[in-house]
């Protein structure tokens, strides 16, 4: 049959597909696009809009990095990844960075050979129950049926929590947030457990959010952050300091509204260094002086991104909590730009 | 002699058959109420159908087409007073379901591509069309990827040139270096061309005469377009591989046969989802360092391998259905193996296999939903991404229903067509 | 006079490897083999190199580490501290369970539907056609997800069983509860049970250590537990059936010799039932009923939703294909067979079951085998509903938690391959037997 030719076409495509060079940063610049791994769909963190644009809090980090490196916040290929495919996609070089609400753990960092560049959301695993169940603490959940997403750290935390408290439970593993929600609302599970941010986001979309409560126990630490491959420190630095730039910008009061004005030069030397009017921090990263300015202008500083995607004004309505600046009693603490 | 007649000498007027055996009543009695048990079954089925429709119809007929979010739907439904569907999501996202993230201004390329596919397939399937259309069928495999992926037109042209080189190598070299060497050259030269020459030549031509259309990354493929692309490309590619495997499986050569059997049985013995796991997690590990196929190409490769094993079995069935006399007649004419295959065996075997090929295609097309498990945005995968939009979070049935109905329409029409072909081919063959 | 001389022996020339048909086939095979070996070597070489770069040499040691996750549906003892091996084995048993249940149900439904499609009741025949077309033309993954959604949304939650005027109640004298968490049915219990027999006990493991308070050794000791009660019951049942078979043979012999068949059904029933009853009473058999306690029903056997959804969806989907196979098989039997059977005075039901179906089986069985294989392979879609089969444990959570893609996926593929090959081998054996009987 004539269609054999497609084999040739594919072989050709395979050969012309780029051969990785030493540094991811050079690759990204040469390619002109950033390949960023995101969630296949998580309310508030990553989802495609009706026009096919990806949006969300994790997506915004990708956009900031693309703006810093490529001067174009839209020069990104978003690669949706599942819990199973995310690490291989990163390890094999298919994506340059992963911003997919991924928990920073020892084994992922050391054994799987990844480098977490920071934390963009401090989360913890919580429980949501219907009010009418009359439960006020997770320790009263003896014998309960628990809906849980597979492929995450949450199922290990859950097993540990119930084991440590010596109470029994029945896990109901589900593939996606939507299925969990469906089962939970129909009463097929007594409680739904996942990251507290996810629970709040899910509850906000219920028909009557008031009928459901989040239990006070947070049974794990879930620092979620972007990650890159081990061993490519130049690229790791770029992503790390882009994230830090967003956090510092909020701390220093640099917003997408006043950044033009501030980049004319200010009295605060740290703002000047951040925005490239003083010193040569950008050049040290292998970028130009205005990298951080572009990253901030892509969507705003950390606080603006938070408010726009998951903050209290959105249907998701998350409070800053742990994710407030250290000056406001939160954990966000960017190392200084010096 | 009395004039009493004991024999009727006049025809009786034709009477209508009993009312109970004709018309509606007769039909009902014959087909629905022929016995007590049949009547009970009929009544039960009627009750079931009524119950089903009473549940489904009010839900389907729900005036929520223009709703902008689930909350708005809920308000409309609350006024309605009974449970209804929320169709606003389909209105807002149906283009995404069809084309994924393909650029909206380029949708015409996809539509044109699949229309041309029908044109290219027509002369293969309908024998009464002009034979000249087969030339288009020959061009189409090069045209199709170019229209979908875009880029410079020189790429498909240089790839096609490889086949031309192979063809002429066989033709021109045969007198000078003998048939066998010419055949070997016909295989080796194109491979050398594709591997080492084609890329630079295409680049050179593109720089001289830049004829190109906007390139689209395969990551932007999604929705039904992705399913159809994977299905069509995999089936098209699996056909030649399947033919080779089927011949290998029938071969007398022990090693060739065991390799073919091993491959076929291995692929048919494992679930497609494990092959997709290989595509998503392992294929890059098997390739030389630095090669980076994107995920859709990797999936196409694995689905092609999967389809080839099934195709091989379909074609083996076609080969087995040929009478032994055909092989012997070909031998008696002094044709060598490849000529016999090309001129006698394959045309007949493939014709018999067409219905099987179509049903393999339907199977592969349905199985493309599995790619959602490894994070590709086929209709099912896309639905999860769309439901993460806080405006629609919480919808279940509408989306699944929409996807299922679309699949049903595609697959049902294809299966009906294959049944029609089967009937047509059967009368031709026997 | 002529002398016979051997034709001059051709000396071997290199060209003969290609041009002489005697050698050419060998040449082709060797070339194919070398090509294959080069390809395989290339792939392995790439893999080794890439894994070395990633710093993840092939190592199956991780399978001995504690899995760390819980599995709800399990046929053998398992907890989160057991190894990944055991988790994989639990998954494998779940795969086999759903495949077995699915094949049985699919066959029954498929045969019924296939026969009904040829029914002379117009409505029934049409409904069956609609059923077959709808199920065949929508992907099985959608059906699985759909069935799960229907179960979840339509059945009552356990909390609906609570209160003064519950919205839902248990069925069949309060012995069966249909909930959207699954179906609870009564379980057999033995008050004077014989306990379990640990197979392959591992003295080194914590589970086999005698507890400090001197209590019995934990249930999790040993790789498997075999219930002695069940063994005993099966043994008694088997012996009863064997004796019953002997009685039947004797009846056959008497019938052959004398033409009269002695009435033996009460003996045959007796030798099976009475010893069984005695054993059950001795073991203290009673039925454990499910009852609502706390959040869930306790007691009884819990058939989880995920299992039921997967089972139903797979059987209904496969049944649509089996129905077509059965229909084609029946249509392949010539009309004369039906007419001949009718001429003998058989009723339509008996014609179908005694004349048509046995003959149709020969046509039906080969494609039926491949449907069984498909069902088994499709059971790997269990992850869509959270049923923890082999794909969910070994190639799912274990893969995620350990990051060992190569090892887990290859192992999973090998297991599926061996299941498939053994099913086809077993069915081919059966097929050959059917064929021999025919001739």
Say if residue A232 is in the same domain as residue A157: no
Q: Classify strands A97-98 and A34-39 as parallel, antiparallel or unpaired.
A: parallel
> What is the β-pairing status of strands C296-298 and B151-152?
unpaired
Would you call B371 an interface residue with chain A, using a CB distance cutoff of 8 Å?
Answer: no
pLDDT at site B3: 65
Asked which of A220, A242, A273 is the last residue of a domain, the reply is A220
* A33: Cβ contacts below 8 Å, ≥ 6 apart: A66, A70, A75, A76, A77
C140 has a pLDDT exceeding 90: yes
Query: Could you tell me the end-to-end alpha-carbon distance of chain A, in angstroms, rounded to an integer?
Result: 65
- Which strands, in side-by-side order, build the sheet including C177-179? C177-179, C182-185, C301-304
Determine contact: A159 vs chain C, CB below 8 A.
yes
Is the Cβ pair C68, A156 closer than 8 Å?
A: yes
Poorest-pLDDT segment among A64-68, B151-155, C30-34, C373-377: B151-155
CB contact under 8 A, C121 and B38: yes
Q: Do A172 and A183 share a structural domain?
A: yes
Q: Is B55 exposed, middle or buried (0-12, 13-18, 19+ CB in 10 A)?
A: exposed
Mean pLDDT is highest, among A123-127, B416-420, C168-172, C359-363, for A123-127
- State the smallest CA–CA distance between residue C115 and chain B in angstroms: 14
Check B219 against A77: CB less than 8 A apart: yes
What are chain C's partners, defined as 3 or more CB pairs within 8 angstroms? Answer: A, B
The answer, yes or no, to whether residue B48 has pLDDT greater than 90, is yes
Query: In terms of residue numbers, what domain contains A159?
Result: 125-220
Report the neighbours of A using a cutoff of 3 or more CB pairs below 8 angstroms. B, C
pLDDT at position B61: 86
Please indicate, yes or no, if residue A31 is contained in any of the structural domains.
Answer: yes
Query: What CATH number does the domain containing A195 carry?
Result: 3.40.190.10
pLDDT in tens, C262-310: 888 888 888 888 988 998 888 888 888 888 888 888 888 888 989 999 9
User: What are A281-326's pLDDT values in tens digits?
Assistant: 999 999 998 999 999 999 999 999 999 999 888 888 888 989 999 9
Interval B54-82 mean pLDDT: 85
CA dist A179 and A188 (Å) reads 11
Place of tokens 């130009």: A288
Domain boundaries of chain C, sorted by first residue: 53-165+303-439, 187-207+217-288
For B80, the domain range is 56-94+220-430
C-alpha A170/C-alpha C388 separation (Å) is: 13
Residue B36: inside a domain, yes or no?
A: no
Which of A186, A220, A254 is at the close of a domain? Answer: A220
Interaxial angle between packed helices A177-186 and C140-154, expressed in degrees from 0 to 180 and rounded to the nearest 10: 30
Decide if B257 touches C, using CB distance below 8 A: no
Are A232 and A307 part of one and the same domain? yes
How high does pLDDT run on average in chain B?
Answer: 86
Considering the domain architecture, whether residues A43 and A107 belong to the same structural domain is answered as yes
Q: How many domains does chain B have?
A: 1
CB A229 within 8 A of CB A114: yes
Residues in chain B with CB shorter than 8 Å from the CB of A94 are 284, 292, 294-295
Q: Please answer yes or no on whether C157 and A188 come within 8 Å at the CB atom.
A: yes
Average pLDDT, chain A: 87
Contacts of B154 (CB under 8 A, 6+ apart): B201, B202, B205, B206, B211
pLDDT score of C168 more than 80 = no
B403 chain-C contacts, CB cut-off 8 A: 142
> 3-state SS of chain A?
CHHHHHHHHHHHHHHHCCCCCCCHHHHHHHHCCEEEEEECCECCCEEECCCCCEECHHHHHHHHHHHHHHCCCCCEEEEEECCCCHHHHHHCCCCCEECCCCECCHHHHHCCCEEECCCCEEECEEEEEEHHHCCCCHHHCCCEEEEEECCCCHHHHHHHHHHHCCCCEEEEEECCHHHHHHHHHHCCCCEEEEEHHHHHHHHHCCCCHHHEEECCCCCCCEEECCEEECCCHHHHHHHHHHHHHHHHHHHHCCCCCCHHHHCCCCCCHHHHHHHCCCCCHHHHHCCCCCHHHHHHHHHCCHHHHHHHHCCCCCCCCCCCHHHCEHHHCCCECCCCCC
Nearest to C152 among A83, A169, A188 (CB): A188
Confirm or reject contact between A178 and chain B (CB < 8 A): yes
- CB-CB under 8 Å, A88 with C405: yes
Q: Is residue B421 in a domain?
A: yes
Count the neighbouring beta carbons within 10 Å of the beta carbon of residue A230: 17
What predicted TM-score, i.e. pTM, was given to this entire model?
0.87
| Cβ–Cβ below 8 Å for C403 and A87 | yes
A83 and A228 in a single domain? The answer is yes
C146 in reach of chain B (CB within 8 A):
yes
Q: Which of B390, B392, B400, B403 to mutate to test the interface with A (most CBs of A within 10 A)?
A: B390
Q: Which residues of B touch A98 (CB under 8 A)?
A: none
* Chain C CB contacts of B269 below 8 Å: 373, 416-417, 420-421
**Chain C residues whose beta carbon lies within 8 Å of the beta carbon of residue B268:** 373, 420
- Whether A198 maps to a domain, the answer reads yes
Task: Assign A1 a pLDDT band (cuts: 50, 70, 90).
Answer: very low
Residue of A47, A76, A186 for testing the chain B interface, max B β-carbons within 10 Å: A47
B254-269 and C405-438 helices cross at what angle (nearest 10)? Answer: 110
From A220, A250, A266, give the residue that closes a domain. Answer: A220
Beta-carbon separation of A143 and C298 below 8 A: yes
Superfamily in which the C53-165+303-439 domain is placed by CATH: MetI-like (1.10.3720.10)
- The model's pLDDT over C17-42, given as tens digits with 9 standing for 90+, comes to 666 777 778 888 888 899 999 999 99
Q: Which two tokens stand for residue B143?
A: 């045209």
Mean pLDDT of chain C: 84
Q: Which residues of C touch A (CB under 8 A)?
A: 54-56, 68-72, 80-81, 148-149, 152-153, 156-160, 180-181, 293-296, 298, 305-306, 383-384, 386, 388, 392, 396-397, 399-401, 403, 405
A 71-90 residues with CB below 8 A of B? 77-82, 84-85, 88-89
> Does residue B306 contact residue B272 with C-beta atoms inside 8 Å?
yes
Within a domain: A294: yes
Residue A15 resides in a domain: no
Contact of A111 with chain C, judged by CB distance below 8 Å, is answered with: yes
Residues of chain B contacting C32 with CB distance shorter than 8 Å: 253, 255-256, 259
User: What is the Cα–Cα distance from A210 to A142, expressed in whole angstroms?
Assistant: 24
Q: Looking at residue C208, what is its pLDDT?
A: 54
Taking the C-alpha atoms of residue C245 and residue A94, their distance in angstroms, rounded to an integer, is 65
Under 8 Å CB-to-CB from A189, ≥6 apart: which residues?
A144, A145, A146, A147, A172, A180, A183, C181
Structure confidence by residue, pLDDT tens digits, B351-390: 888 888 888 999 999 999 999 988 888 999 898 888 888 8
Q: Per the domain annotation, does B413 fall within a domain?
A: yes
Element (H, E) at B155: helix B154-177
- Give how many domains chain A has, as a whole number: 2
pLDDT tens-place string over residues B101-130:
898 889 999 999 989 988 888 887 777 778
State the chains in contact with B (3 or more Cβ–Cβ pairs under 8 Å): A, C
- Record: contact C152-A150, CB cut-off 8 A: no
Predicted confidence (pLDDT) per residue in A38-58, tens digit = 998 888 889 888 888 899 999
**Beta carbons of A84 and B243 less than 8 Å apart:** no
Spacing of C-alpha B160 from chain mean position: 24
In terms of domains, do A255 and A290 share one?
A: yes
A268 phi/psi in degrees, rounded to 5: -90, 110
The domain spanning residue B265 has which CATH number? 1.10.3720.10
User: Residue B207: what pLDDT?
Assistant: 83
Q: Which of A22, A83, A170, A229 to mutate to test the interface with C (most CBs of C within 10 A)?
A: A170
Which residues of chain A have a CB within 8 Å of the CB of B280?
84-85, 88-89
pLDDT(C432) > 90: no
| Interface contact flag, B289 C49, Cβ < 8 Å | yes
Dihedral sign for Cα C195, C200, C205, C209, please: positive
Q: What's the confidence (pLDDT) of residue B251?
A: 86
Beta carbon pairs, A and C, within 8 Å: 99
What does the DSSP 8-state code read for residue B63?
S
Q: Does B120 reach chain A within 8 Å, measured CB to CB?
A: no
Nearest CA in chain B to C126: B45
Count of A-B CB contacts under 8 Å: 172
Please check whether residue B409 lies inside any domain of the structure.
yes
Look at C405 and A170 and tell me if their CB atoms are within 8 Å: no
How confident is the model at residue A84, as a pLDDT? 82
Residues A289 and A305 in one domain: yes
CB atoms within 10 A of CB B421: 17
Q: Is B338 left (phi over 0), alpha (psi -120 to 50) or beta?
A: alpha
């Amino acid at each position: 049959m004539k269609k054999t030719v497609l084999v040739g076409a594919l072989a050709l495509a395979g050969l012309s597909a780029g051969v990785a060079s030493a540094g991811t940063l050079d690759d990204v610049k040469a390619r002109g696009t950033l390949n960023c791994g995101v969630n296949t769909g998580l309310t508030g963190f990553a989802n495609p809009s009706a026009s096919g644009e990806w949006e969300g809090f994790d997506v915004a980090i990708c956009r900031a990095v693309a703006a810093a490196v490529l001067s174009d916040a839209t020069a990104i290929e978003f690669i949706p990844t599942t819990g199973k495919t995310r690490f291989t996609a990163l390890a094999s070089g298919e994506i340059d960075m992963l911003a997919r609400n991924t928990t920073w753990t020892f084994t992922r960092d050391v054994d799987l050979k990844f480098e977490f560049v920071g934390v963009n959301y401090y989360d913890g695993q919580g429980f949501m129950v219907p009010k009418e169940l009359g439960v006020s603490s997770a320790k009263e959940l003896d014998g309960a049926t628990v809906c849980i997403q597979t492929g995450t750290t949450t199922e290990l935390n859950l097993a540990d929590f119930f084991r440590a408290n010596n109470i029994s439970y029945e896990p109901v593993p589900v593939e996606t947030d939507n299925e969990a929600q469906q089962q939970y609302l129909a009463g097929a599970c007594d409680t739904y457990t996942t990251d507290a941010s996810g629970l709040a986001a899910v509850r906000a979309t219920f028909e009557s959010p008031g009928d459901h409560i989040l239990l006070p126990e947070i049974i794990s630490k879930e620092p979620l952050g972007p990650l890159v491959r081990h061993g490519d420190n130049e690229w790791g630095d770029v992503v790390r300091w882009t994230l830090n730039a967003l956090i510092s910008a909020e701390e220093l009061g640099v917003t997408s509204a006043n950044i033009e004005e501030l980049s004319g030069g200010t009295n605060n030397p740290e703002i000047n260094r951040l925005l490239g009017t003083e010193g040569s921090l950008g050049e040290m990263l292998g970028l130009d002086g205005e990298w951080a300015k572009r990253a901030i202008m892509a969507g705003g500083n950390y606080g603006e991104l938070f408010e726009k995607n998951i903050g209290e004004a959105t249907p998701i309505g998350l409070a800053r909590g742990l994710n407030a600046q250290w000056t406001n009693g939160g954990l966000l603490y960017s190392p200084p730009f010096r | 002699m009395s004039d009493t007649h004991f024999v009727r000498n006049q025809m009786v007027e034709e009477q209508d058959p009993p009312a109970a055996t004709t018309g509606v009543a007769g039909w009902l009695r014959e087909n629905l109420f022929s016995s007590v048990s049949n009547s009970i079954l009929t009544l039960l089925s009627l009750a079931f159908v009524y119950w089903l429709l009473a549940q489904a119809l009010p839900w389907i007929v729900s005036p929520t087409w223009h709703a902008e979010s689930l909350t708005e739907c809920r308000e409309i439904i609350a006024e309605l007073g009974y449970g209804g569907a929320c169709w606003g999501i389909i209105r807002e996202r149906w283009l995404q379901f069809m084309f994924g993230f393909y650029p909206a201004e380029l949708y015409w390329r996809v539509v044109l591509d699949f229309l041309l596919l029908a044109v290219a397939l027509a002369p293969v399937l309908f024998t009464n069309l002009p034979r000249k259309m087969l030339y288009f069928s020959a061009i189409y495999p090069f045209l199709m990827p170019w229209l979908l992926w875009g880029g410079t037109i020189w790429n498909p042209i240089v790839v096609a040139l490889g086949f031309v080189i192979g063809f002429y190598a066989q033709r021109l070299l045969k007198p000078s270096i003998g048939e066998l060497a010419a055949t070997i050259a016909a295989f080796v030269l194109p491979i050398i061309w594709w591997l080492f020459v084609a890329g630079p030549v295409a680049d050179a031509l593109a720089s001289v005469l830049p004829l190109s259309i906007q390139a689209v990354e395969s990551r932007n493929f999604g929705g039904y377009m992705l399913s159809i692309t994977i299905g069509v490309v995999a089936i098209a590619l699996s056909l030649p591989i399947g033919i080779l495997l089927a011949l290998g499986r029938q071969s007398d050569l022990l090693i060739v046969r065991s390799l073919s059997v091993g491959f076929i049985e291995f692929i048919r013995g494992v679930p497609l989802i494990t092959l997709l796991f290989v595509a998503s997690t392992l294929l890059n590990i098997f390739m030389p360092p630095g090669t980076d196929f994107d995920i859709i190409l990797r999936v196409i490769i694995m689905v092609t391998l999967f389809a080839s094993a099934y195709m091989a079995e379909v074609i083996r069935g076609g080969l087995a259905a040929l009478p032994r006399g055909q092989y012997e007649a070909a031998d008696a004419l002094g044709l060598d193996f490849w000529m016999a295959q090309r001129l006698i065996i394959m045309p007949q075997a493939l014709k018999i296999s067409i219905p099987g090929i179509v049903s393999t295609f339907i199977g592969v097309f349905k199985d493309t939903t599995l790619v959602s498990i490894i994070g590709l945005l086929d209709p099912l995968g896309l639905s999860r991404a769309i439901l993460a939009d806080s405006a629609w979070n919480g919808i279940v049935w509408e989306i699944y229903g929409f996807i299922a109905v679309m699949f049903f329409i595609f697959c049902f029409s294809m299966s009906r067509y294959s049944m029609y072909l089967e009937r047509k081919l059967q009368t031709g063959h026997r | 006079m002529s002398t016979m001389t051997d034709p001059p022996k051709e000396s071997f020339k290199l060209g003969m490897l290609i041009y002489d048909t005697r050698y050419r086939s060998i040449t082709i095979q060797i070339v194919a083999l070398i090509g294959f070996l080069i390809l395989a070597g290339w792939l392995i070489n790439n893999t080794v190199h890439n894994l070395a770069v990633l710093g993840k040499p092939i190592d199956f040691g991780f399978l001995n580490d504690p899995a760390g996750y819980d599995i709800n549906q399990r046929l053998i003892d398992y907890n989160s501290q057991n190894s990944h091996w055991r988790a994989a084995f639990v998954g494998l048993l779940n795969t086999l369970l759903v495949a077995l249940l699915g094949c049985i149900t699919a066959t029954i439904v498929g045969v019924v539907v296939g026969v009904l499609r040829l029914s002379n009741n117009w409505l029934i025949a049409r409904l069956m056609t609609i059923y077959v077309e709808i199920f065949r033309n929508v992907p099985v993954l959608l059906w699985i997800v759909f069935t799960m959604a229907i179960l979840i949304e339509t059945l009552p939650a356990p909390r609906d069983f609570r209160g003064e005027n519950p919205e839902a109640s248990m069925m069949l004298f309060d012995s069966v509860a249909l909930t959207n968490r699954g179906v609870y049915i009564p379980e057999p219990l033995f008050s004077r049970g014989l306990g379990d027999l640990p197979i392959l006990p591992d003295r080194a493991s914590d589970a086999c250590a005698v507890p400090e308070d001197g209590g019995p050794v934990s249930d999790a000791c040993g790789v498997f537990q075999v219930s002695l009660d069940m063994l005993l019951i099966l043994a008694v049942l088997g012996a009863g059936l064997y004796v019953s078979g002997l009685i039947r043979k004797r009846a056959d012999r008497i019938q052959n010799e004398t033409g009269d068949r002695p009435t033996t059904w009460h003996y045959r029933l007796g030798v099976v039932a009475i010893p069984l009853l005695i054993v059950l009473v001795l073991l203290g058999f009673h039925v454990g009923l499910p009852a609502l306690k706390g959040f869930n029903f306790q007691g009884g056997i819990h058939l989880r939703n995920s299992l039921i959804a997967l089972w139903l969806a797979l059987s209904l989907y496969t049944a649509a294909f089996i129905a077509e196979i059965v229909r084609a098989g029946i249509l392949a039997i010539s009309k004369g067979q039906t007419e001949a059977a009718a001429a003998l005075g058989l009723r339509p039901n008996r014609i179908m079951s005694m004349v048509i179906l046995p003959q149709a089986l020969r046509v039906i069985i080969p494609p039926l085998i491949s449907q069984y294989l498909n069902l088994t392979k499709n059971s790997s879609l269990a992850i869509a509903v959270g049923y923890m089969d082999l794909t969910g444990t070994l190639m799912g959570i274990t893969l995620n938690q350990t990051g060992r893609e190569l090892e887990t996926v290859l192992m999973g593929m090998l297991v599926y391959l061996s299941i498939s090959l053994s099913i086809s081998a077993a069915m081919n054996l059966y097929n050959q037997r059917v064929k021999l009987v025919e001739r």
